[in-house]
């Protein structure tokens, strides 16, 4: 930057210097040439005037007898006007000369200026004089009388003297030019300073702003473009300062939020390098300092297959994904979300510690399993005794015994359903996958419900397309799924029909169980798969519902990596849509 600033001033100076030197050189050259030309022309015109004057005075004397008189006149006049004058006769004979003795001078008929004058022209020549042995400027005019040329008057001046005068003039011109050049240069330096100084100041301020000093301001009070530029830079610095302060504040806030988060958080870029992380992440990753892990690839600090799969899945799909994973004794729910929809996105990974939640869940599940197991035996014996008592009791108490029996049955149903659920939730228990003929299975299950359909006068229909032959699933659980859904369809339908539709879609099979029953109000739709959730308690109890059927269905579907959804309209019926992979 320093270099560039010096460069600008010198560059401007050298350009000025070049322009000034060139301009003045041309000026000196042309001015001196013009002045020289003017001087010579002036001299010539003077010589001509003098020659004309002499011609007037000598016309009458132009006879050989007057030669002495002519010569004396010439010498006198030559002395007076300081010019060499020569009077030449028509044949070239010298009649008078202001400098020399004419008798000793050779014939001048062949001198070029004389030849020119004898042609009635004004002769002019600059040449070496053999008489005075010097370079001379000659002007010759004819002496005429009544149109007849009698001779020639020649005036001349020494060239060295002309040159001396011209040299003096040229010297003066150069001298003046030099002074003007120095003044111009001084002005150019001054003017370049006037421009470069503010530019230097602006460049210096810009450099400081670039280095992050947003408090820098330029104090140039000018009304030109430089003034506007400095105002704009000042405004930019002010805005940058504001922005920077805001960003710093936001960064601080973010740091506080991140460090106070109980979750572990890490942000990775498209190269899988860590760009941001919090203290809890460092604790999970077992590294001492969050700054030390910056710029490292996440898998260098956190080796975990589940998270690797999650990251790959998020980058491939661009969608939020979750998984559960374990680090030592601790269990984490990991959430991976892309920061944007573009290809070069970052991924935010949040690790929630769910160890305690899982422990409580397990205690609850164990408790339910234990209690249901414990209840099973007494319930069976109560039911047995009630049956025995019913046979041996009078009609008055029969009614109470029936109530006891009905409630025992209900309790048994709940216990059975809870046992089913705890079996489903038991991770150690594996599915027994078999190749199942779906149509056959659905047919057999419908047969079980045939009596119920008849009792309620509801028609049923099985529509299985030809392309669904087999599915790989656990037959026991798949049967439970059908039983629960068909049982519900019959339970909550008073008239009309129950339809089962099955068809193949790519790698999945879709099963739809549709009834024309009472339907489910919209606000309950999202909750009906929860345990013990019933829309209408009294109706469910009356129909022998436990509120666990759909919860079991959901678990079965999850274990088979499928999906379930429901569409329903109150008074029109419900449709449960299941998607199961063919496996």
**Residues that bind ligand ADP in the complex, under the rule CB under 6 A:** 488-489, 492, 515, 517-520, 528, 533-536, 540, 545-551, 574
CA distances from 263 to 143, 284, 303, 329, 334 (A): 127, 10, 18, 16, 10
Task: Tell me the closest approach of the beta carbon of residue 440 to ligand ADP, in angstroms.
Answer: 24
* CA 366/CA 508 separation, integer angstroms: 34
Beta strands in 506-570 (DSSP E): 508-515, 563-569
Given a contact cutoff of 8 angstroms between Cβ atoms, the answer to whether 520 and 535 are in contact is yes
- 157 vs 480, beta carbon nearer ligand ADP: 480
* CA 393/CA 403 separation, integer angstroms: 14
- 282 vs 540, beta carbon nearer ligand ADP: 540
- 420 vs 489, beta carbon nearer ligand ADP: 489
- 264 vs 517, beta carbon nearer ligand ADP: 517
Task: Tell me the closest approach of the beta carbon of residue 549 to ligand ADP, in angstroms.
Answer: 3
- 207 vs 416, beta carbon nearer ligand ADP: 416
Quick one: which of 158, 121, 60, 73 has its CA closest to 86?
73
- 102 vs 517, beta carbon nearer ligand ADP: 517
Task: Tell me the closest approach of the beta carbon of residue 521 to ligand ADP, in angstroms.
Answer: 9
* CA 546/CA 418 separation, integer angstroms: 10
* CB-based burial, 246-270: b 16+ in 10 Å, e otherwise: eeeeeeeeeeeebeeeebbbbbbbe
Task: Tell me the closest approach of the beta carbon of residue 261 to ligand ADP, in angstroms.
Answer: 37
- 57 vs 559, beta carbon nearer ligand ADP: 559
Task: Tell me the closest approach of the beta carbon of residue 439 to ligand ADP, in angstroms.
Answer: 22
Task: Tell me the closest approach of the beta carbon of residue 414 to ligand ADP, in angstroms.
Answer: 9
Query: Pairing state of beta strands 458-464 and 496-505?
Result: parallel
Quick one: which of 141, 148, 145 has its CA closest to 113?
141
| 12's tokens | 């401007």
Torsions phi, psi for 151 (to 5 deg): -175, -160
Task: Tell me the closest approach of the beta carbon of residue 413 to ligand ADP, in angstroms.
Answer: 8
Task: Tell me the closest approach of the beta carbon of residue 515 to ligand ADP, in angstroms.
Answer: 5
- 154 vs 554, beta carbon nearer ligand ADP: 554
- 98 vs 516, beta carbon nearer ligand ADP: 516
* CA 552/CA 332 separation, integer angstroms: 25
Task: Tell me the closest approach of the beta carbon of residue 345 to ligand ADP, in angstroms.
Answer: 40
Task: Tell me the closest approach of the beta carbon of residue 554 to ligand ADP, in angstroms.
Answer: 9
Query: Pairing state of beta strands 496-505 and 508-515?
Result: antiparallel
* 370: β partners: none
- 384 vs 521, beta carbon nearer ligand ADP: 521
CA 250 from centre of chain: 22
Given a contact cutoff of 8 angstroms between Cβ atoms, the answer to whether 310 and 323 are in contact is yes
278: left (phi over 0), alpha (psi -120 to 50) or beta: beta
Torsions phi, psi for 205 (to 5 deg): -65, -40
């Amino acid at each position: 930057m320093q270099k560039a600033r010096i460069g600008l001033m010198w560059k401007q100076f050298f350009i000025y210097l070049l322009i000034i030197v060139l301009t003045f050189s041309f000026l000196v050259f042309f001015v001196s040439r013009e002045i020289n030309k003017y001087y010579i022309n002036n001299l010539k015109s003077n010589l001509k005037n003098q020659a004309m004057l002499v011609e007037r005075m000598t016309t009458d004397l132009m006879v050989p007898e007057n030669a002495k008189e002519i010569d004396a006149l010439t010498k006198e006049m030559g002395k007076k006007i300081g010019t060499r004058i020569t009077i030449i006769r028509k044949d070239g004979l010298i009649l008078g000369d202001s400098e020399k003795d004419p008798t000793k001078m050779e014939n001048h008929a062949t001198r070029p200026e004389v030849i020119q004058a004898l042609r009635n022209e004004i002769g002019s020549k600059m040449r070496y004089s053999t008489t005075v042995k010097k370079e001379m400027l000659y002007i010759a005019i004819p002496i005429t009388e009544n149109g007849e040329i009698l001779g020639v008057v020649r005036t001349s001046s020494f060239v060295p003297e002309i040159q001396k005068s011209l040299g003096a003039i040229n010297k003066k011109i150069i001298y003046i030019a030099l002074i003007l050049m120095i003044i111009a240069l001084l002005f150019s330096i001054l003017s370049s300073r006037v421009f470069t100084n503010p530019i230097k100041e602006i460049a210096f301020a810009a450099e400081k702003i670039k280095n992050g000093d947003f408090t820098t301001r330029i104090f140039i009070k000018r009304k030109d473009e430089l003034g506007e530029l400095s105002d704009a830079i000042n405004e930019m610095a002010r805005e940058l300062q504001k922005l920077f302060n805001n960003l710093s504040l936001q960064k601080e806030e973010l740091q506080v939020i991140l460090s106070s988060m109980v979750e572990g958080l890490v942000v990775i870029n498209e190269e899988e390098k860590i760009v941001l992380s919090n203290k809890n992440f460092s604790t999970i990753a077992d590294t001492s300092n969050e700054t030390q892990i910056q710029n490292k690839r996440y898998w260098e600090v956190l080796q975990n297959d589940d998270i690797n799969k999650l990251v790959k899945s998020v980058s491939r799909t661009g969608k939020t994904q979750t998984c559960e994973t374990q680090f030592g004794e601790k269990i984490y729910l990991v959430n991976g979300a892309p920061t944007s929809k573009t290809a070069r996105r970052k991924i935010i990974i949040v690790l929630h510690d769910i160890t305690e939640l899982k422990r409580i869940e397990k205690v609850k599940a164990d408790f339910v399993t234990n209690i249901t197991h414990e209840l099973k035996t007494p319930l069976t014996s109560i039911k047995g005794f009630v049956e025995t008592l019913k046979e041996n009791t009078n009609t008055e108490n029969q009614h109470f015994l029936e109530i006891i029996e009905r409630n025992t049955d209900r309790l048994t149903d709940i216990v059975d359903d809870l046992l089913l659920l705890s079996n489903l939730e038991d991770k150690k228990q594996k599915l027994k996958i078999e190749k199942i003929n779906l149509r056959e299975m659905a047919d057999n299950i419908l047969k079980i419900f045939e009596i119920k359909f008849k009792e309620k006068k509801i028609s049923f229909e099985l529509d299985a397309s030809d392309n669904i032959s087999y599915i790989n699933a656990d037959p026991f659980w798949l049967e439970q799924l059908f039983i629960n859904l068909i049982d519900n369809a019959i339970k909550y339908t008073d008239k009309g029909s129950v339809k089962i539709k099955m068809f193949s879609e790519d790698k999945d099979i879709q099963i739809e169980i549709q009834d024309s029953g009472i339907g489910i109000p919209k606000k309950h739709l999202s909750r009906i798969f929860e345990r013990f959730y019933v829309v209408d308690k009294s109706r469910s109890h009356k129909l022998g519902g436990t509120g666990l059927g759909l919860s079991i269905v959901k678990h079965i579907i999850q274990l088979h990596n499928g999906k379930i959804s429901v569409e329903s309209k109150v008074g029109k019926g419900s449709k449960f849509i299941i998607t199961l992979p063919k496996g």
